[in-house]
Amino acid sequence: MSSATRKRRNRPRTTRSPDAPLKLAIVGRPNAGKSTLVNRLLDEDRMITGPEAGITRDSISVDWEWEDLEGIKRKVRLIDTAGMRKRAKIEEKLEKLSVMDAMRAVDFAEVVVLLLDATRGLEVQDLKIADRVLQEGRALVIALNKWDVAENASSLFNGVKSALDEGLAQVKGVPLLTVSAETGKGLDMLMKVAFETREAWSRRISTGQLNRWFERAIEANPPPAPGGKRIKPRYVTQNKARPPSFILFGTRVDLLPVSYQRYLINSLRKEFDFGAVPVRLTLRAPKNPFDHDKKGG
């Protein structure tokens, strides 16, 4: 079977209408330009902005329509959030509540845009925020803001991309875009990628499609036999989407090394075009009746 034919047969479906509003949260460190970005998208000064960090204290939700390059209007629920500082720098009780409110906004969102300040580059706190978003199972897009005033742009972009690949080992290739909230440059591309990322995040694959892929993946790279014990994977099914989550059934599959689980997840991503959205794999082996302690001797 040709690769093109296989892709047509494996064409997945999504669990949510593409006409449903995109729940999009904007997060990042203080003064990254989150409120300025929201104002530019809305084309009005809805959010208060200024040079001082911490002006936004509460998450603010705004219903909006984005018109794509083909003139199609797409519904969006934009969520602006308070800046997330390092824990040691969160001193005021009000600011602690603001950060908690921002994390609730992440929980509510489908896609989260982590906004970076290009004049400051990538910092450890950015990676912590990104990791938290992925742990919550949300789709992540990263945008370098203030690109219109960035210095050494090419080396900056490549440096940030390399640092993200290294710092976010659980998900490679998170979309990295360059934008300017001040001028509006790159914002249409940002929205386009956000909608595409939600589509992948909402994708559902049939059991038949999954197991045709699974047979090929096992044949190409058979599972190991730790301690001489043969592992017998049987089949895979998707138990939910948003994020895409799968269960692998079989004998002793709970003994599969993390490296082999990563192989399966990466193969899944490639086969079904999940991109960099979180993909979860649960291992389920039948219980061995001889493993539990027998009572009464």
Q: Cα(103)–Cα(79) distance, rounded to whole angstroms?
A: 11
Q: Bridge partners of 13?
A: 204
Region class of 232: left (phi > 0), else alpha (psi between -120 and 50), else beta = beta
pTM given for the model: 0.82
DSSP, residue by residue, 31-52? TSSHHHHHHHHHTS--S---SS
Structure tokens at 174: 């998170």
Q: Is the peptide bond before 243 cis (omega within 30 degrees of 0)?
A: yes
Q: Print burial letters for 246-272: b (CB count within 10 Å at least 16), e (below 16).
A: bbbbbebbebbeeebbebbbebbbebb
Tell whether the model's pLDDT for residue 289 goes beyond 60. Answer: no
The better pLDDT of the pair 31, 217 is held by 217
Give Cα separations from 38 to 48, 117, 238 (angstroms). 10, 15, 36
Q: Angle at CA 83, nearest 5°, toward 82 and 88?
A: 120
pLDDT single digits (tens) 32-43: 898 899 889 988
Question: What phi, psi does 189 have (nearest 5°)?
Answer: -65, -40
pLDDT of residue 227: 82
Residue type, 115: L
pLDDT single digits (tens) 123-146: 888 888 888 899 999 999 999 999
CA torsion through residues 91, 94, 100, 105, sign: negative
